[in-house]
Amino acid sequence: MACLFCKIASGEIPAEIIYQDDEMTAFRDIDPQAPTHILIIPSQHIETLNALDPSHAELIGNMTLAAARIAASEGIQQQGYRLVMNCNQDGGQTVFHLHMHLLGGRQMLWPPG
Ligand code: 5GP
Ligand code: ZN
């Protein structure tokens, strides 16, 4: 298993884990771009958004619900936050195991860089 995020999900590589269940792991980004920067990943190895099919709908829904719950537990729910999924080169994806970025604790800019 060569994938970095698979290794984080299995505990082989340490990370500051915020939440974990059978289908996902949430942990702090090693290079945070905001005061709160948490990655939410599926337990199963899915490379990009392009690999999703309808069988993943519940998983992605549950990851989104988890993100909103984590935003509340981080205390950024009311002030606001951003949920981002980068896909391939133009999206700026660097780790090819699907992940959501939960970013908050500062004013986000639009358009994004
Ligand atoms: P992407 O650019 O693929 O959307 O996001 C990958 C994210 O993974 C980046 O924000 C990067 O800082 C984070 N990251 C890369 N390697 C590690 C690691 O070993 N541990 C943790 N916690 N985050 C990582
Ligand atoms: Zn993986």
Domains of the chain, by residue range, sit at: 4-104
Task: For the domain covering 4-104, report its CATH number.
Answer: 3.30.428.10
Which ligand gives the minimal distance to the CA of 99? Answer: 1
- Is 12 a residue whose pLDDT tops 80? yes
Taking alpha carbons only, the member of 10, 84, 88 closest to residue 40 is 84
| Ligand 1 site, residue 86, Cβ cutoff 6 A | yes
Question: Measured between alpha carbons, how far is 52 from 61 in angstroms, rounded to an integer?
Answer: 12
| Ligand 1 site, residue 15, Cβ cutoff 6 A | yes
Percent over 70 (pLDDT), the chain: 99
Q: How many residues does the chain have?
A: 113
pTM above 0.75, yes or no: yes
- Tokens 């905001």 locate to 34
C-alpha 49 – ligand 1 centre gap (Å) = 16
Q: What is the pLDDT of residue 113?
A: 86
| Ligand 1 site, residue 43, Cβ cutoff 6 A | no
